[in-house]
Amino acid sequence: MAQGFSTDDMMRAFSEFRMPGMPDMQAMMDAQRRNIEALSQANKLAMEGAQAIARRNMEIMQQSMSDMASAMQAMMSADGAPAERAAKQAEMVKSAYERAMGNMREIAELIQRSNGEALDVLNKRFSEAMEEARGMIKPT
């Protein structure tokens, strides 16, 4: 009864197969391994960035809730003429708006930095892969 080729037999056959101008199979496999490693590193950086953004967003939300509770308490206990109370309310709204804009800017910067780090890894690997491909292709 005939036996089929094993994976090792197939890899050995492919590695021994040579055509003019064909790249070295081991070099191609090594390049693919480096591609996968770079993609894995980029994914890890993206995940860490997403986690940092989520943590910071939660911190901002908790601080906002605490600030809002304090503001409501201050408004309820505020004495004074209606004009003074309105001025205090306007100042609180302005302050809350400025904090919200600052927080949005901070989150946007975190996202940009996280994406940039992951893309840097991929761009670097792409450049390396192009150089490797150029070196693997032998003129016929």
> pLDDT tens for residues 59-93?
999 999 998 888 888 777 767 788 888 888 888 88
Identify the DSSP state of 97: H
- Residue 19: inside a domain: no
The number of distinct structural domains making up the chain is 1
Contact 123, 29 (CB under 8 A): no
The whole-number pLDDT of residue 17 equals: 63
Q: Is residue 16 one of the residues assigned to a domain?
A: no
What Rg do the C-alpha atoms of the chain give, in angstroms? Answer: 30
Residue 125 covered by a domain: yes
- Whether 4 has a pLDDT exceeding 90, the answer reads no
Rounded (10°) CA dihedral 12, 18, 24, 26: 0
Q: Which domain holds residue 47?
A: 24-135
pLDDT digits (tens, 9 = 90+) for 6-64: 777 767 776 766 555 556 778 888 989 999 999 999 999 999 999 999 999 999 999 99
Query: Which of 32-41, 62-71, 114-123, 128-137 is least confident?
Result: 128-137
What pLDDT does 18 receive? 58
Tokens of 56: 């910071």
From residue 59, how far is each of 52, 108, 112 by CA, in Å?
A: 11, 15, 19
Question: For residue 1, what pLDDT is reported?
Answer: 45
Is 12 domain-assigned? no
